[in-house]
Structure 1
């Protein structure tokens, strides 16, 4: 599916939400050019869901904050303004997916004055940074080896699963992916049965600088499925991104199973937010802890059995 330009996506979004059209136009600054306003308008509309208390034509602190952040982003992109790094990180994350053509490259006074100069101090700082990076990698490897030894020692039992901090570490990526999927579906006319669900999911994940992992297993080889389903021929597909489980699909062949798994994964993005959690799943007849992407809807807490298990691969539970 061909990518659509930002103004096309905004136009489609406003067609689906006509009550926002007049209001958002009232937010335009008198000195903004058409290009600057198109970019800032897309920034505002993309981030409305992150400010649920913002209401059209109603002044509020949340609206003031959203507009301020939109101006920070626009000033940086179009005028070359520089802000504290924490603010820049925030607006760059909020602007994920916005494409602005023909941006003029601007340099600060310090960059211009320091052009072509590389002092001994900067060389020394770079060397120190490299040394710290190498030392950090060695320390991480050492700690990882220690954890593995602890898990496999003692009584011979161990706990497979993701580290406790994993959901927090993965959440920012899936927040960005949530925005990418939302706007991709807007450009496609909304979620529906006739979409190429796999292509939409794959494109959004790749635009977020990640990849989608697909695992296939013959249906008859899965012991944890209901007896009636286990007798049928076909394939099962499990989707993961950055080790996080996203969905399972069943089909006559791999393509149809992957399409169904992608459709199930996209359903999660129909809610107001997505969350990475550690949940219990079955794998080779045993319960394990797995990273799972869930929505904010009340659903059955049961998950399909895991087809693959990316955590401590050399210590996976053996078949019972």
Structure 2
């Protein structure tokens, strides 16, 4: 628990403000241990003055934000959860002066294995995706509409040289929107509504996602031992920038998996738009890809769509 002088400060503060005792206790989570709650309670009380609009006993956005930040800090200290670096910097600054006795020490899987690389983002695998596809290009605000492939002769060599710099400011804003959204829902995890979270963040930045669906049965060159041929593959883009690919039993499941993969990119300290080589319809093309700072092999699933088209 928060030890020594920290406990004395909290007790002294509550003795001087008895009207806060019942209210602050009502903020305790049902599953929190005494150690976790006493540390998080100290975090809340220490930082209340930085949220002057908080009125004890009355719900407010400021209170929700303070409670979210307190949970982020407690989840990091006691459960080993990781959050985007700007969020971690914020909660660590707010927790300055709080001492937690016998806090658990945790390592990530990569730290335990002595690795820093992350597997290539693909729910189907680079070898499963294709050279010949017939995608449905979708703006998520509209129903899925079928569109044909352009002729190969109309494909450009790729995005303009200045495209990454042009798109970077938007994705810097999106990074901040995703970071705070994940704080509000308790952090990145497998049980989130990944698509809804991602879509709301993109729309808050005055943009929209687009996705391409390809039936798995229409994808040739699957490994001979693979018996599963039902389902959909989904590719997500925003402002023509590729962000993730996912596989699922139907379009909704594939879209959710692609969103989950896309959100992983936002777990680092920043995101960067870069020009990368990808396969599209049997040939190498230059594509805009959103990346984090994790070192990894530059292996991407083949593109299901290619937005850089026009007369050569």
Identify the TM-score tier after normalising by the shorter chain: 0.5 to 0.7
TM-score scaled to structure 2, two decimals?
0.54
Equivalences for residues 60-209 of structure 1 within 5 A: 159-209=156-206
Q: Is the CA contact 1:222–1:230 (under 8 Å) kept in the aligned structure 2?
A: no
In 1, are the aligned partners of 2:86 and 2:269 still within 8 Å (CA)?
no
Structure 2 vs 1, CA of residues 189 and 162 (structure 1 numbering), >3 Å: closer, same or farther?
A: same
Displacement of 1:180 in angstroms is 0.5
Q: Which SS does the other structure have where 1:17 is aligned? A: helix
Within the candidate set 6, 10, 15, 2:71 is matched to 15
TM-score normalised according to structure 1 size? 0.52
Residue 254 (str. 1) matches residue 310 (str. 2): no
Map of 1:27-38 to 2, 5 A cutoff? none
Moved more, 300-309 or 202-211: 300-309
Distance 2:178 2:278 in 1: 26
* CA distance, structure 2, for counterparts of residue 260 and residue 241 of structure 1: 16
Shift in Å, 1:57: 6.8
Consecutive unaligned residues of structure 1, counting only runs of 5 or more, are 19-45, 59-155, 316-320
- CA distance in 2 between counterparts of 1:224 and 1:171 reads 36
Quote the Cα distance in structure 2 between the aligned partners of 1:234 and 1:308: 18
Equivalent residue, structure 2, for 1:306: 303
How far apart, in 1, do the equivalents of 2:154 and 2:198 lie?
Answer: 38
Find 1:234's aligned residue among 231, 239, 247.
231
The separation in 2 between residues aligned to 1:204 and 1:249, in whole angstroms, is 19
* Contact kept in structure 2, 1:276 and 1:294, CA below 8 Å: yes
Any stretches of 5+ residues in structure 2 without a counterpart? 1-59, 75-84, 98-152
Secondary structure in 2 matching 1:269: helix
Structure-2 separation of matches of 1:158 and 1:256: 30
Cα 1:232–1:168 change in 2 (3 A) is: same
Q: Secondary structure at the match of 1:279?
A: strand
Contact 2:154 2:310 in 1 (8 A): no
Counterpart of 1:287 (choices 264, 284, 287) is 284
- Counterpart of 2:270 in structure 1 is 273
CA distance in structure 1 between the partners assigned to 2:179 and 2:249 by the alignment: 29
Q: Of Structure 1 and Structure 2, which has the larger fraction of its residues in helix? A: 1
Number of aligned residues = 190
SS in 2 for 1:195: coil
Query: For residue 264 of structure 1, what is the aligned residue in structure 2?
Result: 261
Between the aligned partners of 1:273 and 1:194, the Cα distance in structure 2 is: 24
- 1:295-318: CA deviations, max 9, x gaps? 111223111111110001566xxx
1:23-63 deviation line (CA, Å, top 9, x unaligned): xxxxxxxxxxxxxxxxxxxxxxx967799xx89879xxxxx
SS of equivalent to 1:238: strand
Separation in structure 1 between the aligned mates of residue 233 and residue 311 of structure 2, nearest angstrom: 24
How far off is 1:162 after superposition? 0.4
Question: What SS does structure 1 have at the residue aligned with 2:299?
Answer: coil
- Matched residues in 1 for 2:89 and 2:274: separation? 20
Following the alignment from structure 2 to structure 1, what is the Cα–Cα distance between the partners of residues 221 and 246?
15
Q: Is the 8 A contact 1:224 1:305 kept in 2?
A: no
Q: CA contact under 8 A between 1:235 and 1:250: conserved in structure 2? A: yes
Answer whether contact 1:283 1:306 (CA < 8 A) is retained.
yes
Closer/same/farther in 2, CA of residues 8 and 238 from structure 1, 3 Å limit: same
